[in-house]
């Protein structure tokens, strides 16, 4: 019997240096042999956000070591790796370039195929590392840079149903956290604060809730929170504001997801299917609980990546690499980094003023 393909994945699109090795399996769910993630949390925390040049320098310093560790932990020899896959966009160009160059060098030295991967497709396919999922499925991608509903019709085949017209959801969590005096990235901390507060204490806006299909908007929330934070003094008031924010987000996602369910069914002969929620914000327990309840009520099968696969990682990049490898979709070594790479190439740019909903 032929050996199963083994893929090495590399992720350096933002502030995580990550390398992973996965192996295909007979049961259709690959085995993660190693999954090393080195976060740059300490490099950027004093700046309240990711500083591209510092991020790129840190990738350069660490990539070799992280790759060596991933290979050692996997227990496989370099010679048994079938292909190298790496994120080529979207992301910070100086960061993408580090992982890409490293991947291309490795592929050329080992004489094996190089496969460029869209970071967002990595998130989209991340639960395939532990669940068998049939195409088409509905995807809600919620991360630090993106918030989109998509119909995932196949590998590389996406139809965007809705997107944010301003801030991404992770960005909204991080901005709220900053206003509450929490260090970047504050998303996870907001959840902790929310557990100690009263979700009904503050009424917050739900922008474009009854219009614009399943498009999303979060910028108005930040303005409202800024106004409230100027008046609050006690820790309890901070907890109440975090709880009110968390509840508002859950309410928005419940309403917009119902619209997305209908749009997905319209596109797919009225069939439901799996509903995958991926990206860093998919780690939020409150959102997970609410969207699982909603899916069950609406005949969709909810699937969330394991918590360690929600944030940026290289196993998801290797997962896409594996599917492309099986289709013999290889890239040439002059594939450039693509900082604004979309998932649905036909979707219109919706960001900014002048959007007619």
Positions that interact with Zn ion (CB under 5 A):
143, 312
The answer to whether residues 102 and 108 touch, using CB atoms and an 8 Å cutoff, is no
Tokens describing residue 124 = 């989209």
Residues whose CB is less than 8 angstroms from the CB of residue 227 and which lie 6 or more positions away in sequence, other chains included = none
Question: Which residue number, 144 or 321, has a Cβ lying nearer to ligand KG4?
Answer: 144
As separate numbers, helices (DSSP H) first and strands (DSSP E) second, the chain gives 10, 10
Give percent helix, percent strand, percent coil of the chain, each to the nearest 5: 45, 20, 35
User: According to CB under 6 A, which one of 207, 311, 321, 342 is a site residue for ligand KG4?
Assistant: 311
Tokens describing residue 8 = 């090495």
The stretch near ligand KG4 (CB under 6 A) out of 76-84, 137-145, 232-240, 288-296 is 137-145
Give dist(CA 212, CA 197) in Å, integer.
31
Tell me if 143 contacts ligand KG4 by CB under 6 A: yes
| Nearest distance from C-beta of residue 6 to ligand KG4, angstroms | 25
The stretch near ligand KG4 (CB under 6 A) out of 180-188, 201-209, 224-232, 288-296 is 180-188
Give dist(CA 31, CA 328) in Å, integer.
20
Extended strands (E) in the chain = 6-11, 16-23, 31-39, 83-89, 114-118, 137-142, 147-154, 157-163, 274-278, 301-303
Q: Which residue is nearest to ligand KG4 (CB)?
A: 280
Tell me if 174 contacts ligand KG4 by CB under 6 A: yes
Residue 204 contacts which entry, Zn ion, ligand KG4, none (Cβ below 5-8 A, type-dependent): none
| Nearest distance from C-beta of residue 189 to ligand KG4, angstroms | 9
Instruction: From residue 279, give the alpha-carbon distance in Å to each of 64, 120, 197, 208.
Output: 26, 8, 26, 23
| Nearest distance from C-beta of residue 171 to Zn ion, angstroms | 12
Question: Which residue number, 24 or 312, has a Cβ lying nearer to Zn ion?
Answer: 312
DSSP-derived letter for residue 99 is H
Residue 84 contacts which entry, ligand KG4, Zn ion, none (Cβ below 5-8 A, type-dependent): none
The answer to whether residues 177 and 190 touch, using CB atoms and an 8 Å cutoff, is yes
Tokens describing residue 183 = 């260090």
Residue 283 contacts which entry, ligand KG4, Zn ion, none (Cβ below 5-8 A, type-dependent): ligand KG4
Can the peptide bond before residue 90 be classed as cis, meaning omega within 30 degrees of 0? yes
Strands 83-89 vs 6-11: parallel, antiparallel or unpaired: parallel
The answer to whether residues 177 and 184 touch, using CB atoms and an 8 Å cutoff, is yes
Question: Which residue number, 113 or 279, has a Cβ lying nearer to ligand KG4?
Answer: 279
User: According to CB under 6 A, which one of 312, 314, 325, 342 is a site residue for ligand KG4?
Assistant: 312
Tell me if 99 contacts ligand KG4 by CB under 6 A: no
Question: Which residue number, 9 or 279, has a Cβ lying nearer to ligand KG4?
Answer: 279
Tell me if 88 contacts ligand KG4 by CB under 6 A: no
| Nearest distance from C-beta of residue 313 to Zn ion, angstroms | 9
The answer to whether residues 197 and 243 touch, using CB atoms and an 8 Å cutoff, is yes
| Nearest distance from C-beta of residue 351 to Zn ion, angstroms | 18
User: According to CB under 6 A, which one of 48, 49, 188, 220 is a site residue for ligand KG4?
Assistant: 188
Tell me if 145 contacts ligand KG4 by CB under 6 A: yes
Residue 207 contacts which entry, ligand KG4, Zn ion, none (Cβ below 5-8 A, type-dependent): none
| Nearest distance from C-beta of residue 257 to ligand KG4, angstroms | 16
Residue 187 contacts which entry, ligand KG4, Zn ion, none (Cβ below 5-8 A, type-dependent): ligand KG4
List residues binding ligand KG4 (CB under 6 A).
143-145, 170, 173-174, 185, 187-188, 191, 279-281, 283-284, 311-312
């Amino acid at each position: 019997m032929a050996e199963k393909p083994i893929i090495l994945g590399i992720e350096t699109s933002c502030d995580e240096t990550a390398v992973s090795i996965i192996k295909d399996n007979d049961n259709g769910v690959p085995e993660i042999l190693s999954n090393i993630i080195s976060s740059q949390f300490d490099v950027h925390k004093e700046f309240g956000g990711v500083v591209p040049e510092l991020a790129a320098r840190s990738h350069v310093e660490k990539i070799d070591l992280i790759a060596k560790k991933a290979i050692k932990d996997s227990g496989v020899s370099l010679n048994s790796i079938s292909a190298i896959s790496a994120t080529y966009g979207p992301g910070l160009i100086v960061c993408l370039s580090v992982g890409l160059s490293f991947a291309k060098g490795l592929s050329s030295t080992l004489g094996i195929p190089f496969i460029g991967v869209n970071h967002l497709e990595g998130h989209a396919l991340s639960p395939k590392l532990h669940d068998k999922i049939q195409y088409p499925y509905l995807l809600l991608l919620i991360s630090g840079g993106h918030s989109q509903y998509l119909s995932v019709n196949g590998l590389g085949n996406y139809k965007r149903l809705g997107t944010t017209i301003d801030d991404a959801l992770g960005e909204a969590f991080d901005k709220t956290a900053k206003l509450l005096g929490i260090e970047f990235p504050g998303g996870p901390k907001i959840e902790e604060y929310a557990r100690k507060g009263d979700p009904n204490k503050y009424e917050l806006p739900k922008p474009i809730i009854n219009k614009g299909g399943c498009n999303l908007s979060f910028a108005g929330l930040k303005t409202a929170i800024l106004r409230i934070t100027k008046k609050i003094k006690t820790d309890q008031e901070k907890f109440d504001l975090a709880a009110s924010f968390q509840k508002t987000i859950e309410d928005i996602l419940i309403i917009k997801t119902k619209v997305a369910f209908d749009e997905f069914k319209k596109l797919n002969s009225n069939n439901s299917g799996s509903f995958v929620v991926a990206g860093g914000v998919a780690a939020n327990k409150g959102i997970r609980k609410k969207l699982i309840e909603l899916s069950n009520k609406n005949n969709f099968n909810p699937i969330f990546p394991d918590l360690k696969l929600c944030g940026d990682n290289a196993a998801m990049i290797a997962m896409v690499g594996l599917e492309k490898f099986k289709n013999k979709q290889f890239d040439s070594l002059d594939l450039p980094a693509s900082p604004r790479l979309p998932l649905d190439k036909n979707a219109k740019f919706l960001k900014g003023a002048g959007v007619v909903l």
